[in-house]
Amino acid sequence: MKIAHVALLACLSATQIEAQELVVGLGYTSFNENAAENGGALDIEYHFAPRWQLGGADLYLALAAMTNDPGDYFIGAGLGAEFPLGDKGWFLQGSVIPGYYDASEPSNDLGSDLEFRSSLALGYRMPSGWALSAGATHISNAGLGDSNPGVTMAMLRLGRSF
């Protein structure tokens, strides 16, 4: 009887895990008010299994982490969405994620420790579970801080569903 329970649990877990995704993006950051601090960046997202649907989009909880060449970093959790564009594998993906931002030097200060990361990407999902996309991410405190210079990142992304 225990083997049947373990097998059932494994099947249910595998079904849930298949809908999750890890996305790694490499790109270039651009600080709105301080072009001297522009440089390479790494962005990582983890998308949990979709929980809701709205207007044809799958909505899911998402985690995000970003670091750039000067050594700044962002880490947060929020909401993501994926809109399929037809039935050929194309999709539009976006997220809004509040989180903590740490500037490596005063010139990279975004005005607050609490920042909001918004992203938008256009991509193609292959039958193998891999996805390629191009996107942009913007981190800003939405005017809640002393200043709001923001930082934008253009990136190429590779995702893997599992």
Taking only the tens place, the pLDDT of each residue in 37-84 is 678 999 999 999 999 999 999 999 999 999 988 889 999 999 999 999
Q: Which two three-digit tokens encode residue 126?
A: 């292959």
Indicate the helix (H) or strand (E) that contains 3: helix 2-18
Q: What is the pLDDT of residues 99-131, one digit of tens each?
A: 999 988 887 888 899 999 999 999 999 999 999
According to CATH, what is the number of the domain 19-161? 2.40.160.20
Percent above pLDDT 90 for the chain = 65
Contact 37, 152 (CB under 8 A): no
What's the pTM value of the predicted model, to 2 decimals?
0.83
Domains of the chain by residue range:
19-161
Two structure tokens written together for 101: 């931002």
Q: What percent of the chain has pLDDT over 70?
A: 85
